[in-house]
Amino acid sequence: MGSDARLLLILGTRTFAEEVADWAGAIPQVRVAGFVENMDAARCRETLGGVPIHWIDDIGRFAGTHEAVCALSTTRRSRFIQQAEDLGITFATLIHPAANVSSQTQVGKGAIVGPGVVIGSHTHVGPHVVVNRGALIGHHTRIGRFCTVQPGANIAGACTIGEATYVGMGAVILDHVTVGSHAIVGAGAVVTRDVPDRVQVVGVPARIVKEDIEGK
């Protein structure tokens, strides 16, 4: 890889961070230069896959030379992202070569789009969204920032998914449905009607089982 490689920091040191590093390795001219920890400083004495782990307070020295993505599957990753931004770190948009994203679609900074994902035309994927492997997102849909769309989920066309909402593995959201912010759509749920903010829905058809939540 040449000297013009984009240097990437991955916020997170758990298993999903390792997977995102693998995805990044498939993108030409991207090199994973380090992982970042913000909870257990002792981990910074280790490496992950031969790559150093940096403590969050020490990464300001990489501002201007490195970009980052946040590889936490929880929608509550905004705090980690804010810590990095406060130190001057900018964020990359990471789209795996095996994803199919319409040229008419916008994908925000810090978003991660995994292999096998298909995103239709005229759709907006907000900043710091994670679209995990094999997920489908239809045309003219809006995905709010900090959302997580887990493997195999299918969000149809003309949907709106609010900020920091978690769409579980294999969930189906029918067309023209709005799901509120900080909500959880359980794995395998089929959402046939609008879902309010801060609730958890499960089942077929999906029904509310918990209220006043803060995402996952």
State the Cα–Cα distance between residues 148 and 173, nearest whole angstrom. 14
- Nearest CA among 79, 71, 146, 76 for reference residue 114: 71
**Is residue 179 a contact partner of residue 161, using CB atoms and an 8 Å limit?**
yes
State the Cα–Cα distance between residues 69 and 136, nearest whole angstrom. 21
Among all chains, which residue has been given the structure tokens 């829905």?
201
Token digits of residue 55? 């403590």
State the Cα–Cα distance between residues 64 and 199, nearest whole angstrom. 40
State the Cα–Cα distance between residues 213 and 57, nearest whole angstrom. 30
Active-site option among 66, 139, 140, 176: 139
Spell out the residues 6+ positions from residue 148 whose beta carbon is closer than 8 angstroms to its own. Answer: 73, 74, 75, 129, 130, 132, 165, 166, 167, 216
State the Cα–Cα distance between residues 195 and 184, nearest whole angstrom. 10
State the Cα–Cα distance between residues 23 and 155, nearest whole angstrom. 22
Residue 139 is a catalytic residue: yes
Q: Active-site positions?
A: 139
